[in-house]
Structure 1
Amino acid sequence: MRLLLGENNNIQELRNFTKWLLKIGDGLAGNTTDSESIVHIPSNILVKNFETALDDLIDFIYPDMLSNLFVENYFKDRTILAPTLDCVIDVNDKMTVGLPGQERVYLSSGFVCAEEKNIKFELDAFSPEILNGINCSGLPPHKLVVKVGAPVMLLRNIDQTNGLCNGTRMQVRRMRNYVIECKTLTGNKVGSIVLILRLNLILNNEILPVRFQRRQFPIIMSFAMTINTSQGQTLSKVRIYLLRLVFTYGQLYVVLSRVTSKDGLRVLLQDHGHLKDNCTMNVVYRDVFESL
């Protein structure tokens, strides 16, 4: 459906690309072993891996960024996708540093939620320093570095009527002590000016033994985003930074199927161990389909 929205002049190429995507989604592409298969990435969407490959990938997705910083729709339908939060943070930090102007740092406050199951030892064990060091998908960082012109993404549903939903992308216009002014780039209120305030955000993560609350602006930088976060997004230009192999069911299909045209897709593979330079892993549990 996304490919039908784009400009695809070569119908046969479009059909071949669509069939390839569907095979990846069904786990039929490449050499299948149980739930994992090795997939060959076509050379015409593959970025060669060398020392400056990441810089070139950034230049591909954000050409002449400083000249187009406030051009309407420049950030709207382009991004870099990566499988892990660490990769995303590295790219976002690198891009933010390259923006002109003075940065502003917003620090969060946080504490463990007082519940019956949180015994006193656990409450004392999670000091503010430990809580501040926790970075999880869907949670803004303790140290939020913001610059005017930077694209950001909303992490909570604030006002669905006015288009302020989880996943809405915006661009920073002004920064104050208690509010950040942004312009919406996606959703049903594109172009509207909104004010983002700090919220009390409670993290529900089964990995952590306790629930804790972080008071912070509910946004993160969105030069790059995780593959899981990109679900539901439709983009015209996507650069995929696979520093590590995908590791969850259907993750490769999700990241490859965000684009409206094959011409808008490029993939950079790095450090994939024993795999060839043009191959990556796909994780699909075939028994799910066989049981239908």
Structure 2
Amino acid sequence: MGTPSYDVEETRLFAKWILDIDEGNIGGPNDGVATIDLPDDLLTKDYVDPISKLFDFVYPDILKYYENQHYFQDRAILAPTNEIVDEINNSLLKFFPGDKVEYLSSDTICSSEYINDTLDTTLYSPELLNGLIISGLPNHKLVLKVGVPVMLLRNLYQKEGLCNGTRLQIIPLGTRVVEGKIIFGTNIGHRVLIHRSPLTPSNN
């Protein structure tokens, strides 16, 4: 059974609209700031709890289907900032049964950044380091539950399909390793292990 032609055309028009926004072809001449009218069918009009309304739309009956890997293949929520990503993730976790597991980073200052050996390292307290939100790096605390969908932000092992943007569903949660099942792409169904990885910001 093929995909209905109207779905293909609708997807093509939507993709073109997104590209036109990205290329600045919508909103008239501007210097980087423009006003764009969004179609009504793309708007969440519940101003009391818009995130819950968004979940109802993207993930209907999530408790009924969350154990089915196919349920998440055609569903995802994209967000413009890390703060909104955290808000959405924290809200989504509440829908999943089971206990939360927290994973914390181990933050240290690169030795090359010390001005001299006598620099008081209390200037860089763990609280300060853990509170930093840096583009391209995950936050200090990652909270997961079994069954939640996640997306990789790094190329870990491309031969196994573990690339930036790979979507997985969490299975067991270990102390130092997280196991996931790939739910999108050419390696659907493969179970993989995600271990701790050293990450260094590219911007000094």
- The TM-score bracket by the shorter chain reads 0.7 to 0.9
Structure 2: which amino acid aligns with 1:104? Answer: V
Query: Equivalents in 2 of 1:132, 1:17: separation in Å?
Result: 39
- Secondary structure at 1:110 match in 2: coil
- Secondary structure at 1:54 match in 2: helix
Cα shift at 1:43: 2.1
Which of 126, 137, 150 is residue 139 of structure 1 equivalent to?
137
1:175-254 pair list within 5 angstroms? 175-206=173-204
Listed one character per residue, the Cα deviations across residues 220-240 of structure 1 (whole Å, up to 9, x for unaligned) are xxxxxxxxxxxxxxxxxxxxx
2:117 is the counterpart of 1:107: no
Give 1 or 2: higher helix fraction: 2
Cα shift at 1:58: 1.1
Structure number with higher relative contact order (C-alpha < 8 Å, ≥ 6 residues apart): 1
Cα shift at 1:71: 0.9
* Percent identity of equivalent pairs: 41
Cα pair distance change 1:23/1:176, threshold 3 Å: closer
Task: Tell me what 1:67 maps to.
Answer: 64
Cα pair distance change 1:70/1:11, threshold 3 Å: closer
Listed one character per residue, the Cα deviations across residues 170-196 of structure 1 (whole Å, up to 9, x for unaligned) are 111101112111111123311101111
Task: Tell me what 2:91 maps to.
Answer: 94
- Secondary structure at 1:79 match in 2: coil
1:261-276 pair list within 5 angstroms? none
Query: Equivalents in 2 of 1:6, 1:144: separation in Å?
Result: 37
Which of 66, 70, 85 is residue 82 of structure 2 equivalent to?
85
Task: Tell me what 1:35 maps to.
Answer: 32
2:171 is the counterpart of 1:173: yes
Query: Equivalents in 1 of 2:16, 2:160: separation in Å?
Result: 38
Listed one character per residue, the Cα deviations across residues 141-198 of structure 1 (whole Å, up to 9, x for unaligned) are 2222111001112222221111111221111110111211111112331110111111
Query: Equivalents in 2 of 1:11, 1:163: separation in Å?
Result: 27
RMSD over aligned Cα, in angstroms?
2.6
Query: Equivalents in 2 of 1:15, 1:156: separation in Å?
Result: 28
Structure 1: which amino acid aligns with 2:83? Answer: D
Give 1 or 2: higher strand fraction: 1
Structure 1: which amino acid aligns with 2:195? Answer: L
Query: Equivalents in 1 of 2:110, 2:146: separation in Å?
Result: 34
Structure 2 unaligned runs (5+)?
none
Q: Do the aligned residues in 1 keep the contact of 2:46 with 2:53 (CA within 8 Å)?
A: no
Structure 2: which amino acid aligns with 1:192? Answer: H
1:7-26 pair list within 5 angstroms? 7-9=4-6, 17=14, 20-21=17-18, 23-26=20-23
* More moved, 121-130 vs 73-82: 121-130
Structure 2: which amino acid aligns with 1:128? Answer: P
* More moved, 144-153 vs 196-205: 196-205
Q: Do the aligned residues in 1 keep the contact of 2:151 with 2:166 (CA within 8 Å)?
A: yes
Query: Equivalents in 2 of 1:163, 1:62: separation in Å?
Result: 25
TM-score, normalised to structure 1, is 0.61
Structure 1: which amino acid aligns with 2:89? Answer: N
Cα shift at 1:89: 0.2
Cα pair distance change 1:197/1:31, threshold 3 Å: same
TM-score, normalised to structure 2, is 0.85
Structure 1 unaligned runs (5+)?
207-292
